Amino acid sequence: MNILQILPRLDVGGVETGTVDISKELIKKGHRVIVVSNGGRLVKELIDSGARHIKLPVGQKSVFTAIKMIKRLRYIIKEERVDIVHARSRVPAIIAFFAARQTEACFITTAHGYYSTHLLSRVMGWGKYVVVASSVIGRHMIEDFGVPRERIRFIPRGVDLERFKFEPIDPASSKAEYKIGVVGRITPIKGHAFFIQAIARVVRIFPRVKVLVVGDAPETKPEYRDNLKALVRKLDIERFVEFLGSRHDMPEVMSGLDLLVLPSIGQEAFGRVIIEAGASGVPVVATRVGGAVDIIEDGKTGMLVKPGDIMEMVDSVIKLLKDRSLARDMAEEARKRIEKEYSLTRMTEDTLRLYEEAHGKKKILIIKIGALGDVILSVPSIKAIRNSFPAAFISVLVGIESRRVLKKCPYIDEVMLYDRKDKDRNLRGLLKITSILRRKAFDMSIDLQNNRTSYLMAWMSGIPMRFGYSNRKMGFLVNNKLKYLRIDSGPVEEQFRILKKAGVNTIGASKRLEIWPGREDISYIDKLLKDEWVSEAHTLVGINIGGSWKTKRWPLKYFARFSDMLAAKDIRVVVTGSGEEIDIARELAQLTRSKIINAAGKTNVTQLAALIKRCRVYVTGDSAPMHIASAMGTDFIALFGPTDSRRHLEPVDKGTVIKKKVNCGPCYKSSCKKNICMEKISVEEVYKLVMEKIMNE
């Protein structure tokens, strides 16, 4: 794989050192590594390992610089064929996010800090996966930034056990001076002032100590270091404290210490120096905050004290300096734990698994928020997508009225609902659903709806690869589009054109519709028919009286006469329709002389599928039940009027279309005074065709 890491600078620090360490290991395993930063002292070491460094000012907090860097980084990603873009800081993450979303590279972040809930910090939760080194940061990203738990990946930092050699403690030896190290950038959160005050008390009881302050203040805040030195002078402990500044020879620093103290008073993301000390055989005293709690088992692999509690810090430091047997035991236990859980090898393996998962396991969103029948027509496409991406996580966004269609679909991992008529209506609802989609970090969307709402959803969700048709309904928001051609192909074939654009193999793909009624649906229909005195010996013909448009409906008086003609042949007629069509079904019952089975408003979509399966023949207009009949393998007669069957009915072995040629059709009008296209379909020809189908079975 080609992996690009991006961070502000490559100077001395835990983030920077970790970047160089992981780069070295990835290169050893045959991967190609590019690091983008504004340079620093670790660049030479990185280049010597075989990685490529590109110097760019990606850490500058300037909108104009960021916009410029997005363009530059996008070019690098495409030119270098980068598979993974791994951002390790906030400003570089913003640049990387907008650059990667216009490519096929996967965007990953590592949360290296306990961020404030500032708008700028939110980008650290936008990665396809968000790496955290400790449980406290994991909870922080979930609770404060709304990152879904399934996108969090726990990968603790690792230490190179070859560089940090274990040196056992000899309890019998006595030293004239014990060296205590405090390692880290000098900032208020690191607790240096608290530690210095504790040391002022330690030296009164145990004066054989030398404190080494390793690290420096940020270039923009030199007063942090100056204030600390002033505190040392004020406490009159200058002869005990030495400021070493920034060091990059940490193995040598650790080898000279007898004790390491991590006095942080704010949440630490991890605490890399703890594992470096543990690997080297140096016992540790740390405050009970952040990642230290994960690493140190209090009293066994180190000692934990309350942040800011000077006397508890004093007691712990003196205890480990005096009791060298205890110090030895803790150091040995710490080394064992670090070998098992915090080695560079393990971190590399976990990181590689994450990269392979991110690169190999696509997250695909299929958008089909239209009518019930349209969702049923999307099933062959969903199946083809699954066959082309067997390891992908596939979600389908549907309208709430279609939620049961895909309930048992074996080709998807998740059904998401869009309640466009109620909870999710208007702009507020759109913002809510896109917020949910954005948190899921999809790699691609395949738009089978192709309207303004669906295009806006995919674009606002930050999905990098968006496939759909180019049309006048805001099609410019689709960045992988194809032109709509009026070639009178079937509905599934039209969808397959989009699939081909998305790299889905449709050659030989089945166009058969499917729906999956469960046992409970079949049992429900068995009871419904039993209550109507229908036995297995009865011939059952279903009729669908509904339709999304009135113009699609066969006249009710035709249905009444048709039902009576079937009843004369001892054929039971079952009437289906939605809850909105209950009154129409009652009117039909009054028009017939025979007793029909009125199931209108009594079934959901999967129950209707089970009912249609029991019918020998099903008569319907151009509506969802027509597709359900096709999916269930029931022979049907489709009565078409204002719409074109070539565009709305996928050809099947069972199923016959009746359509009359009229000068005004197909008109695609939902209202019509005469509706002659449906009235021209005679009761006699429908009855004759039904009887032929029954006799020929």
Q: Is pLDDT above 70 for 667?
A: yes
> Tens digit of pLDDT for each residue in 321-368?
999 999 999 999 999 999 999 999 999 999 999 999 998 888 999 999
Whole-number mean pLDDT of the chain?
91
**CA separation, residue 233 to residues 162, 236, 237, 464 (Å):** 39, 5, 6, 57
Reported confidence tier of residue 395, pLDDT bands at 50, 70, 90: very high
pLDDT average, residue stretch 16-31: 92
Q: Return the percentage of the chain with pLDDT > 70, whole number.
A: 99
What is the b/e burial string over 314-332, where b = at least 16 CB atoms within 10 angstroms of the residue's CB? bbbbeebbeebebbbbbbb
pLDDT number for residue 534:
86
pLDDT number for residue 115:
87
- Please report, in angstroms and rounded to a whole number, the separation of the first and last CA atoms in the chain: 58
CATH superfamily label, 178-341: Glycogen Phosphorylase B; (3.40.50.2000)
Q: Do the strands 106-111 and 84-87 form a parallel or antiparallel pair, or are they unpaired?
A: parallel
pLDDT average, residue stretch 470-496: 81
Q: Enter the pTM of the model.
A: 0.78
pLDDT average, residue stretch 199-204: 94
Q: Is the peptide bond before 666 cis (omega within 30 degrees of 0)?
A: yes
> Tens digit of pLDDT for each residue in 261-284?
999 988 878 888 999 999 999 999
Between vectors from CA 446 to CA 441 and to CA 450, what angle results, nearest 5°?
Answer: 120
602 or 651: which leads in pLDDT: 602
pLDDT average, residue stretch 665-686: 88
Q: Are 169 and 331 in contact (CB under 8 A)?
A: yes
**Helices assigned H by DSSP within 361-475:** 372-377, 379-388, 426-440, 452-460
CATH of 2-154, one of 2.60.120.380, 1.20.1260.10, 3.40.50.2000, 3.40.50.300: 3.40.50.2000
Q: Are 194 and 263 in contact (CB under 8 A)?
A: yes
Q: What distance in Å separates the CA atoms of residue 380 and residue 329, rounded to the nearest whole number? A: 64
pLDDT number for residue 440:
87
pLDDT average, residue stretch 292-306: 93
pLDDT number for residue 493:
86
Report DSSP state, residue 189: G
> Tens digit of pLDDT for each residue in 492-511?
888 999 999 999 999 989 99
Of residues 37, 30, 48, the one with CA closest to residue 13: 37
Between vectors from CA 113 to CA 109 and to CA 117, what angle results, nearest 5°?
Answer: 90
pLDDT number for residue 334:
95
Q: What distance in Å separates the CA atoms of residue 26 and residue 353, rounded to the nearest whole number? A: 12
Of residues 203, 151, 210, the one with CA closest to residue 181: 210
> Tens digit of pLDDT for each residue in 142-193?
999 989 998 999 999 999 998 999 999 988 888 889 999 999 889 998 999 9
pLDDT number for residue 496:
92
Reported confidence tier of residue 488, pLDDT bands at 50, 70, 90: low
pLDDT number for residue 101:
83
**Residue 77: enclosing H or E segment and its boundaries?**
helix 63-79
Domains 2-154 and 178-341 share a fold: yes
Q: Is pLDDT above 80 for 489?
A: no
pLDDT average, residue stretch 559-569: 93
Instruction: Say if domain 519-695 classifies as CATH 3.40.50.2000.
Output: yes
Q: Are 616 and 539 in contact (CB under 8 A)?
A: yes
* CATH node for 361-501: 3.40.50.2000
pLDDT number for residue 424:
78
Reported confidence tier of residue 519, pLDDT bands at 50, 70, 90: very high
Token digits of residue 669? 């009008």
List the domain boundaries for the chain.
2-154, 178-341, 361-501, 519-695
Q: What distance in Å separates the CA atoms of residue 582 and residue 600, rounded to the nearest whole number? A: 5
pLDDT average, residue stretch 71-82: 95
Q: What distance in Å separates the CA atoms of residue 96 and residue 85, rounded to the nearest whole number? A: 7
Q: Are 478 and 457 in contact (CB under 8 A)?
A: no
Q: What distance in Å separates the CA atoms of residue 131 and residue 110, rounded to the nearest whole number? A: 4
pLDDT number for residue 459:
92
- Work out the angle between the directed axes of helices 223-234 and 192-205 (0-180°, nearest 10): 20
pLDDT number for residue 487:
59
pLDDT average, residue stretch 224-249: 92
